[in-house]
Chains A and B, each alone.
Chain A
Amino acid sequence: MVYRVKPKGNPLKWPSILTALSCKLGSLIQLEHVLAITRLELGNEIAYAFVHEVDSVIVSLACDLVDHKYFGVHALSCLLEHKPLACDFSHVEIQIRHVFPLNGIVNERVYRHVDWSNNDFCVLAQKKPKRFLKDLRAEYRAKIGTIFNKVVDQ
């Protein structure tokens, strides 16, 4: 299981940006990490998802703008990456894997936190084609929000 600490009653505030969703991998949580899990500034509620659910998030959408460099089918999926912190060995991030056509050639990119400000690399962060990219982002947010729409009873 993957856990995520969030403000109680508002599962909608996150993720602040779509990529690098900060979580904790259940199988790696140790007793000394419990304090890190309950850091108040992160929130007061624990949402969770199963790893197979994270793996099953696939957003597929076609950009139908003929002659556009992104014309064709785009697919987004999640990539779980272990990113241990000094205070928390269980820390993982959910990155976005984007498979997309670029001038007819299939590309694959993984977006991490630092990539979000690099518009040349991160297609999802770009402004155009506006409608298509908004649709793609919204669909991803709906799916990632849904898999974490379960909270631990306290």
Chain B
Amino acid sequence: MNWGSGAYRKTSIKRRERTPEEEFMVAKFPFGMSESEWNEMRKLGAVISPDNWSSPTTVESSKSSDHEQIFDHVQAVLKAATELGFATQKILSLCYNILQEAYRQGKSDLHIDTSAENEIMIFRIINGQYSRILIDEAGDVSYIFIAKRLEDARSKTFMFQEEWDFSEIVNEL
């Protein structure tokens, strides 16, 4: 009886690993997005492939942790938008593009939350100062910098537009 070959055959079948994009596909479903919505969002320009998000200078060893971090941020944005009741393609696409641009600029130390005024809040904490982007239901973006000194506090508003220059927004962050 040849037990060995059967056992060998069984263990030799490797399960194909999910691509990062498939991981995102799996992750989005709990938040109620269908596949067609996903595809539509991609057409709108919200490219959510983590390979595109990583900085070109990122070394290979840190890539997987980057992916995890991006994954967490995407989930947090979806959660916040769902909580606030405006998880629409327009808003999600906007948020993803902001996240993508932030990663491209090396600003990956992001926190995501909701503000008390029903906005999705993407912010960074820099030396005890708070640099935050707020996205409201209409897709308008406000930038607010909470500084240490009153004279350093500043804000800026970006009204929704179809063709955004996301680098302009994220440069502020």
Contact = CB atoms under 8 A, between A and B. Distances in A.
A12 B157 CA distance: 17
A14 interface: yes
A138 interface: yes
A65 to B, nearest CB: 14
Contacts, number: 69
Contacts of B128: 149
Contacts of A13: 113, 115-116
Contact of B144 (A56, A142, A147): A142
Contacts of B130: 11-12, 145, 149
A12 B115 contact: yes
A61 to B, nearest CB: 10
A16 B156 contact: no
Contacts of A17: 116-117
Interface in A99-147: 130-131, 134-135, 138-139, 141-143, 145-147
A57 B140 CA distance: 25
Contact of A138 (B123, B147, B156): B156
Nearest to B155: A138
B145 interface: yes
A10 interface: yes
Contact of A134 (B113, B116, B140, B146): B140
Given A138-B155, A142-B144, A145-B144, A12 B150 contact: no
A53 interface: yes
B79 interface: no
Q: What is the size category of the interface that chain B forms with chain A? A: 20 to 34
Interface string B143-170: 1111111101111110100000000000
A16 B145 contact: no
Contacts of B143: 138
Interface residues of A, number: 24
A15 B144 CA distance: 14
Contacts of B82: none
Most chain A CB within 10 A, of B130, B146, B159, is at B146
Interface string B101-121: 000000000000101110001
Given A12-B113, A12-B130, A14-B116, A135 B148 contact: no
Given A16-B116, A134-B140, 17 more contacts: A10-B113, A11-B130, A12-B121, A12-B123, A15-B116, A56-B150, A130-B140, A134-B142, A134-B159, A135-B155, A135-B157, A138-B156, A142-B145, A142-B147, A146-B150, A146-B153, A149-B129
